[in-house]
């Protein structure tokens, strides 16, 4: 999705690690909390967010980030309709 959006002319600010896809560093002491703060800072820098939610699933961390983005008045787009 990052490639697709970049080719459409968007500037993409993505997550740095994917804990559920093998980036085990996420689960080291204090790392997830640090990354969560980074994600909120990235939302602050963004005009809008694009939620990659295969099957419509949105996890707890992503739900918090969506809520934060809404509070900041950011546009929100989803890969698929959310099931939340």
For the stretch 40-57, pLDDT in tens is: 999 999 999 999 898 888
What percent of the chain lies above the pLDDT cut of 70? 93
Inter-residue contact 1 to 50 (CB < 8 Å): yes
> Would the pTM of this model clear 0.85, i.e. be above it?
no
Give 49's strand partners. Answer: 76
Q: Does residue 84 have a pLDDT over 70?
A: no
Measured CA to CA, the distance from residue 74 to residue 81 in angstroms comes to 18
Burial grade of 39 (CB within 10 A; 0-12, 13-18, 19 or more) = buried
């Amino acid at each position: 999705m990052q490639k697709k959006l970049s080719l459409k002319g968007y500037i993409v600010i993505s997550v740095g690690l994917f804990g559920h896809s093998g980036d085990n560093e996420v689960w080291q002491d204090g790392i997830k909390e640090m990354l969560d703060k980074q994600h909120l800072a990235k939302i602050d820098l963004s005009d809008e967010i694009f939620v990659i939610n295969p099957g419509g699933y949105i996890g707890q961390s992503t739900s918090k980030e969506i809520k934060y983005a809404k509070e900041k008045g950011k546009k929100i787009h989803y890969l698929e309709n959310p099931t939340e």
